[in-house]
Structure 1
Amino acid sequence: MTQPDKFTAHMLVASAAGFASAAASRLLENHPEVEEHFAPGGWNAWKNHYIQRIHELAAAVSAGVPEVFAGRTAWVLQTFASREVPEDDLRISLECLREVLDSELPDPARAAVGPPLALAVSVLEDGPGDEGPAIDGKTRSGRIALEYLVSALEGDSRSAIERVLKAIDDGMALTEVYTGILLPVQKELGRMWQAGELSIAQEHLVTSTTQRLTAVLSFRGQAPEPRGLKALVAGVSGDVHDTALRAFSNLLEAEGWQVICLGCDVPDTEIAAAADYFGVDLMMLSATLPQHLQAVDKTIAAVKALEGRRIPVMVGGLAYLGTGDLWQRQGADGHAGSFEEALELAVRLAEPSDT
């Protein structure tokens, strides 16, 4: 962990396109063979690659957690390996980025980006990891997940949805449907895309099937006894992933909560205004990628600034993997790494203490 540096992070984001252009030009001038691996349009491909990496670097610098950038570098390394792009291309590209930043950034900013870049280079020495399938076909829920995935990929969304609904009719709990079927399917989609086994169109097809199913699941079963608590659930600005947050919204409703689900990619001021307007007892913010963490900062600040209101804020999402106590430093009141944890934590944060 390093000292958070939001000024340098802002500088990186504001100048990302310029830094990316300079790094791409340096890379292809010094290593012209690299362009062939991304032809046609090698320069543009590398520029876009650098923009993404710079935003991830900014997230690590802003949070003071170098592991954020190292983790994304490991993910990129796996992606390169699956597409038969030489691993050395990534190492060379990081060196060129470091050289550009060394020449363009002032001394304090260079010091801030040094640790994440160094840790990322060390990750490359371990080589690409071998991430196995996200679905365990030996379990009941895993078998249903595989059947659901195959049907959806074949374009038979109705059969996929009916298979899951039958599992519920046979007694499967809603929590298991999400944690044992739908979320593993989404994770497997990500793994398959990264491995080059899936097209974007196929991923969208399955995700759209899951969105349809999630809407159906919100009306399954008897209405629960009202708990008298109200929660707002939202994905922060820039985050377009909403499967997990909509699933959590459904689980909260099944526990008797009234849920205001705003969906994904909601501006910080709009989230705060909605929380105030609806008078919620709890806010749940979701962040999927490291570059979304800065939006969490802004949203928490906007909520804490509401006059006459104190709304507990809980955070979660893949962006928090390996970030330690970052959620506390952001000003959140709690963090959950699973649906089960989140449901328990939500009650603890929202219900008044007896002490």
Structure 2
Amino acid sequence: MRASAFTAEMIRTTARGLAGLSVARAYERSDALVERYGSDGFETWKQALKSRLETLGAALSAGDPKMFADDLLWFRGISTSRGIPSEDLLLVLDCMQETLVDQLPGETGPAVKPYFEAAHRALSNAPAISHGLAAGSAAAELFDLAMVGDLGGARRFLFEELQEGRMTLEECIVDALLPAAREAGRRWHMGEMGVAVEHVVTANLRSALHSLAGALPPSAPNGKAAFVAAVPGDAHDTGLVAFALLLEHDGWRVALAGADTPADEIDATAASYDCDVIAISATLPSQRATLSSYLRARDASIPVLVGGAAVRDAADAKTMGADAFATTLADGVRVARELVGLQI
């Protein structure tokens, strides 16, 4: 096992302990940190750093410092919205790097150095983070309807946009529904929306997505079937449902397993539904190890298409053991057709 792969595995399996040691180091170094956050804040920082370390492990496995840097940029946005000074984040980041070097074998320092350098560059050079949806956009209108709990209104909005030809199915999904869903997640992470409200918004958006099927004429079957699922631990399914709808519109028969699908049941279940392609999503970089584990153990008789932030690109997907990779939902439909020999 190469050094970076070994380091990635060590970080992933000991992330919780390393996070605690990193926060303890930061608390020892800064009285201001102790005064600002106290004992409750210690646990909050510990959980936050555990997630960052899991992403670092995934980035090391992928050989992609940008994956870690992007995660830190996202975390900075969350931290800033909650009144956490940038210098606190930078201090904790430095303490995390020092803890890794101290606690893990000698090759750790050189292995992680480019990743922390990339994170520092991103944090120092990135422009101000833009939040929210453009006023008057389809995404903003849809989000507002979901936000006020108008399930029928959200359904009708997307249905009419599609049925009256103002938007295509792909535009309804890519330009309206998915940005609205991301906005709900952003507001929850920023502390601008409670859990129950986020659930209402997300459920309303998902229901609106299902309503699109009624606005579409029946598609001619193309004779192929796809099994669509997320890796274990991935609770995000709005994108999966959207992808299933695009496949259905393209003539596929779809077996939609959805979120958090047991890895050891994926191949057998797909085979039982006589599927020609397995489409697997790993939404977060921290889910890379779970995806890799499935791909290493899978039955190679059915081609596997992967997507999500846990995979860097097509070459990375191939290295992990997948047959193909898609960057977008529409690209996923095209790649799925290629995998089964359908005309593009």
Please, what TM-score do these two structures have when normalized by structure 1? 0.88
Letter in 1 for 2:324: G
Match of 2:308 among 313, 317, 322: 317
Alignment of 1:35-50 (within 5 A): 35-39=34-38, 41-50=40-49
Q: What SS class does the counterpart of residue 41 from structure 1 fall into?
A: helix
Q: What per-residue deviation string (whole Å, max 9, x for no partner) do you get for residues 293-314 of structure 1?
A: 22221222233x44xx2x2222
**1:120 Cα deviation (Å)?**
1.4
Of residues 325, 331, 334, the one that matches 1:344 is 334
CA contact (8 A) 1:134 1:187 kept: no
* 1:1-355 mapped onto 2 (5 Å cutoff): 5-39=4-38, 41-126=40-125, 129-135=128-134, 137=136, 142-143=137-138, 145-171=139-165, 172-303=167-298, 305-306=299-300, 309=301, 311-320=302-311, 325-351=315-341
Separation in 2, partners of 1:36, 1:273: 54
Structure 1 residues 88-115: Cα deviation after superposition (integer angstroms, max 9, x where no partner): 1111001111121111101123332222
Q: Secondary structure at the match of 1:259?
A: strand
In structure 2, runs of 5+ residues without a counterpart are none
CA deviation after TM superposition for structure 1 residue 208, in Å: 0.9
Tell me how far apart the structure 2 counterparts of residues 168 and 105 of structure 1 sit (CA, whole Å). Answer: 55
Q: How far apart, in 2, do the equivalents of 1:114 and 1:237 lie?
A: 30
Per-residue CA deviations over 1:27-66 (Å, capped at 9, x if unaligned) read 1121121234435601111111121111111111121212
Q: Following TM superposition, by how much is the alpha carbon of 1:174 offset from its aligned partner in structure 2, in angstroms?
A: 2.1
Aligned counterparts of 1:92 and 1:6: Cα–Cα separation in 2: 26
Is the contact made by 1:234 and 1:266 (CA closer than 8 Å) also made in structure 2? Answer: yes
With 252-261 and 165-174 compared, the bigger mean Cα shift is at: 165-174
Secondary structure of the structure 1 residue equivalent to 2:243: helix
Structure 1 residue 201: deviation in Å?
A: 3.0
Gaps of 5+ in 1: none
TM-score, L = length of structure 2: 0.90
After TM superposition, give the deviation of residue 148 of structure 1 in Å. 2.0
Compute the displacement of 1:176 (Å).
2.0
Q: Are the counterparts in 1 of residues 133 and 140 from structure 2 also a CA contact under 8 Å?
A: no
The worse-fitting range, judged by mean Cα deviation, of 240-249 and 279-288 is 279-288
With over 3 angstroms needed to count, the CA separation of the structure-2 counterparts of 1:135 and 1:286, relative to structure 1, is farther
Q: Would you say the 8 A contact 2:234–2:259 is kept in 1?
A: yes
Deviating beyond 6 angstroms after TM superposition, the runs of 4 or more aligned structure 1 residues are none
Report how many residues are paired.
Answer: 341
How many percent identity over aligned positions? 33
Displacement of 1:189 after TM fit? 2.4
CA contact (8 A) 1:82 1:194 kept: no
Query: 1:111 and 1:93 mapped to 2: Cα distance?
Result: 19
